Every structure is written in structure tokens, then in C-alpha cells.
Chain A
Amino acid sequence: MNISAREIQKTYGKTTVLNQVSITCQAGEVVGLLGLNGAGKSTLFKILMGLVSPDHGEVVTSNPHKKQLGGIIEKPALYEYLNARDNLRIFAEIQGAASDSEALNAGLRRVGLDVHREDKVGNYSMGMKQRLAIAIALLNDPPFLVLDEPFSGLDPMGVIRLRNLILELAKEKGIGVLVSSHLVDEMIRTCDRIYVINRGEIIREDSPRVLVDQATRSYVLTGESLDQSEVLKGSGAHFQGNSARITDPHPNIGALLKELGAEGTTLYSCVPETDIKMLLHAGND
């Protein structure tokens, strides 16, 4: 089962927002759409969700379902004056999904929300709103989920929880998830496959591993007494406290880590620092 957008074209006035954009997502796959703000991500997702009509092109699904797609566009939009249960109940009723107490509890638990919480959604954190919006998107069990900038506004713990939820939905429930973001790191950690969109055009489609190679500006290592390491001193690293930043744009990080191991240096982590602009430039080259 898959969902595809084929040769989507959308123009507002004289501005071409999407130009011959084609993407596809399989069931159980997490597909990313990576691009700067204004690149056309939200417009493409709105077209996928049927909110906006394309000037040209089509959205095709291989196996029609009662509700093909669930999603969140731009931000989780909820009735802030209602509690989570009433929000879920209203959205369930209007689309003919089960809205009895048992079904609502199951929906809330599915996304890790407290079923006993009765206060207004307006009091919720952004992460909890995201989870409730996902619970609403999952009503009627759509085979695909569209999440537009889901990591925006979340604290680090919220990002981790949301990422785990997305991976659980894809890998355990077999839901195909389309995620858009301008955060390269999060996309690399979350997605199986990533499209890069720039100025309304898909400029590349790669695996996260390839994008890590091409978008990494530096690596940050944390460990013990890194400033004493002869290997790191030789690599031109900049030291600060327990961390060292290697700014060589194309370090052979695997070999470097092996050398540090052989030297006996204790490492806690090695985190790539990515820059989306490097992908955009690479795509244009």
C-alpha cells in the first residue's frame, strides 16, 4: 500500500509554490520532507490532505480506505476551551468513529496521554497538544499520517517522545508517516527516506546516512580529558570543557573514533552538527 503525489504544481499569483513535485510513501515507512521555511512543505501537505487543490498533478493511493490520511498541518489546532476527551469525542463523532468512553480512553492511551486529566487543552504543553492532535488524526485508523513540522516548539524530551511515537506507529502499527521539518538532525533520526525540497522543487531524495555525510558541518565529541588526546590535537579540534568540536567538513569520523579507542580515550557521545543549507547547495551543484 502506498500514497503518492505526482507532478504537483501550485501557483499563487505569480509565485510558483510547487513545481512538478512528486513524492511517495509506503505503509510502515517514515518519509521526510526537508526544507527551509517557505520551501513549499506545508502547501504540499495541504494538497495531500485535500485542503488545497493543486493546479496540476494528482494524489494517488493504491488501496482506498475510509479515511486515507490523518494529519497535523503547521500546528496542533484544537478546541482549547474543551478538555482532551471532549476534543477527541467531537472529532470522533463528526467522522463516524467510535466515541464511547472505552474508545476515547484507548485513543488517549495510544499517544500516551492521561485519561483522567479533565482540564482544558489550553493548559497543555505543546508536546501534549501534538500527541492529542495525533490521536485525533488516528481516528478511523488511516493507513497514512501527515505531520507538518511536528518537532517545532517542543522541548528536548518532547521531541524524543514524539519521535518514539512516530517510530512506534510506523514500525509496530504499519502506518506510513510523512514528516516535514527544517531540522536535519531530527529528520535523520526519524526517517527511513528523505526528500529535500527547495523553492518548490524536490532537489534530492536520499537515505539519512547519505544526508548525514553531506549535511554535517562538524562533529561534537564528549568524553573524559579530551584535551589530553594526541589524536584530537592532531585533528584540529576545538576544546571546551568535556567536549571537542571537529570542524573539518569531511572528517573520516569512523577512523577517528577507532584511533581514539586505540589511544584509550573515553568517549560518551559523538554528535554530528548538520546544516540544511549544505544540502540545498549540494543539490543545486
Chain B
Amino acid sequence: MQGMTNAIIRAEWFKLFRQSRTWYALGALLLLQVVLLLNAWYQGGSILDMLLDNLKQSFHFQGELLNGHLLVYIVLNTMWFHLPLILMIVVSGMLTTEAETGTLRTVMMTGISKRRYIASKFRVAISFTALTVVLVALTSGSLSYLFFGTGDLFVFHGALNFFESPDAFFRLGMAFIAGIFSMVFFSVSSLLLAVIFRETVKTWIVAAFFLIVSNLLLQMQIGQGWTRKLFFANLNDTWQLFFEYHINWAEIGVSLLILTIYIAAIVVAGIWWFDKKDIA
């Protein structure tokens, strides 16, 4: 049985990377980083000088402030909208395309278990999402450090925080790791939406709407105390906690654990729904 599951997972990876859509998505993410770097190249220096002119008179900064760390942090901020949107498009397409072209029907006529098939898709979606975030981290780091070098990182998160270069490198790395959880949350949500709607465009619209509403709810910070901590929308900026002056590991750990429970619940709901519904 495990051998058959592995075969399905291998087939999913094979199909995913044989579709031009996947390569367009990865290309778009790379291009986005290049555009951000070019923008920083042409405009970043002057904007930073304007913003930090007064601070520079009072503090000593190590290296250029427009450096690779800052640019990686800017790329990291694509996790608010750009990255999850692209991931949702690719991941939901893993099912909606098959449903629309009828290949889902052909697959289901081979006699394989519906549960095993959709569970394999969720596993591939999670792995693909994690790999994409790692890829973004690697490409943004490579390009940013190559062209802009390193130096102190300053970010505004509640207050203006400065981190020395080695500390900044560590925090950015950890933020990407924490960001994987948020991206996986949106990916599996889009696959659940694909299970429900089975149509590409409808799923994209609902997924984009879900992403926008999640961001709005995050800004609103709904709830008090534990309810605030438990509300899914408030968990998706956990990666930002690495840019507070003191890293609150306990809070980050709890947030990521709750997010993991949400992810597991979404996967279980997706498998249950897919198993229950007829294949048209």
C-alpha cells in the first residue's frame, strides 16, 4: 500500500513539473525579486537617506543600510500576498485542471482509493510549498548579497529595530522557516477550495478573496487573549515576530503549533470532502 502511495506521489511531482504553469509561477517569483532589487538599486538609496538622515547623525551604522539583508527582508514581505497567491494558483490547479480535463475521472477509474489519491496531492502540495519558500530564500539571498553585500538590518516592527549583520542573517532565515507554515496554510486552503469547487477560475477567485480577507482580518487583530492567539488570521504573521528586538520563542512556537493544527484540520476536511463527493 505504501508503495502505491509513493507511486502516486511520484506521479504528482512528475505532472507538476511537466506543466508550464508551474515554471511560469516559479519564473514570476524570480522576476518579482529582480524587479524589487532593481527598484532598490535605483531608488532605495535616496529614500533611505531621506528616512534615516536624522538617525545617522546620532547612531553609527555598520556598512550600507541599503544592503542584502534589507532586500531579503523586502522579498520576505512578499509572503503577505504575492507568494501565497502564486502558490494557491499552482496548488489548486493540481486538482482543478484534472477535474476540468476529465483526467481525474480517468485516474479514479483505475481503481485507486480516493482518499489515498487526494492525500497524496496534499502531501505534494505541502512539500512543493516548502520547497518554493526555500527557493525564494535562496534566490533572494544570492541576488541580494551578491549585488548589495551585507550590513546592519533595520526594520520597523512596532518600533524601529536594528540588528547586526550575523543576527540579521539568523533572523531572516528563521523568518523564512516560520513563513513556510503560513504559506502551507494558504496552499492547503486552496486545495480544499479546489476539492469543493472543482473549477479553476472559480477556485482562483475564492482563493484570492480568502487571501485578501485573511490579510484584512490580520490587520484588524480580532479577538482578545487566547481567542486572539487562536484565530487563524492572526497566526499568519508569526514570521514577523523574528523582527522584534527580543525573540519570543514561546509565542512563536505556540503560534506555529496552532497553525499546524489548522493545516491538519484543512487536510482532513479536504480528504473527507473529496471522498464523499461523486466524480462527475
Task: State the A residues within 8 Å of B (CB).
Answer: 46, 49-53, 66-75, 77-82, 86, 90-91, 93-96, 133, 136-137, 139-140
Contacts and interface: CB of A to CB of B under 8 A. Distances in A.
Given A81-B19, A136-B106, 9 more contacts: A49-B109, A51-B280, A52-B278, A53-B278, A81-B18, A90-B15, A94-B107, A94-B112, A95-B111
Contacts of A69: 109
A195 B19 CA distance: 42
A95 B105 contact: no
B102 interface: yes
A50 B109 CA distance: 8
Contacts of A95: 4, 110-112
Contacts of A133: 106
Report the 3 A-B pairs with minimum CB-CB distance, sorted nearest first.
A77-B102, A95-B110, A51-B279
B127 interface: no
Interface residues of B, number: 27
Contacts of B3: 96
7 contacts: A66-B111, A74-B105, A77-B101, A91-B106, A94-B4, A137-B109, A140-B110
Contact of B110 (A46, A73, A94): A94
B205 interface: no
A49 B105 CA distance: 10
B8 interface: yes
Nearest to B106: A77
Contacts of B14: 86, 90
Contacts of A82: 15, 18
Nearest to B107: A94
B123 interface: no
B28 interface: no
A260 B198 CA distance: 61
A131 to B, nearest CB: 14
B35 interface: no
A81 B20 contact: yes
Contacts of A139: 110
Mostly helix, strand, loop or mixed at chain B's interface? helix
Given A77-B101, A78-B106, A96-B3, A90 B11 contact: yes
Contacts of A75: 102
A161 B117 CA distance: 34
Nearest to A95: B110
A174 B133 CA distance: 53
B213 interface: no
B279 A74 contact: no
Contact of B103 (A51, A77, A140): A77
A140 B110 CA distance: 9
A78 B112 contact: no
Contacts of B108: 49-51
A118 to B, nearest CB: 14
Contacts of B4: 94-96
A66 B112 CA distance: 11
A137 B108 CA distance: 11
A30 B117 CA distance: 32
Given A49-B109, A90-B14, A94-B107, A80 B8 contact: no
Interface in B62-107: 101-107
A161 to B, nearest CB: 21
Contacts of B20: 81
A85 B117 CA distance: 21
B10 interface: yes
B7 interface: yes
Contact of B278 (A51, A67, A86): A51
A95 to B, nearest CB: 4
A52 B112 CA distance: 15
A77 B280 CA distance: 13
Interface in B172-212: none
A79 B103 contact: yes
Nearest to B276: A53
Given A81-B20, A90-B14, A93-B10, A46 B103 contact: no
Nearest to B103: A77
A72 B110 CA distance: 11
A71 B109 contact: yes
Most buried by A among B15, B101, B109, B111: B109
Contacts of A70: 109
A137 B4 CA distance: 18
Interface in B110-139: 110-112, 117
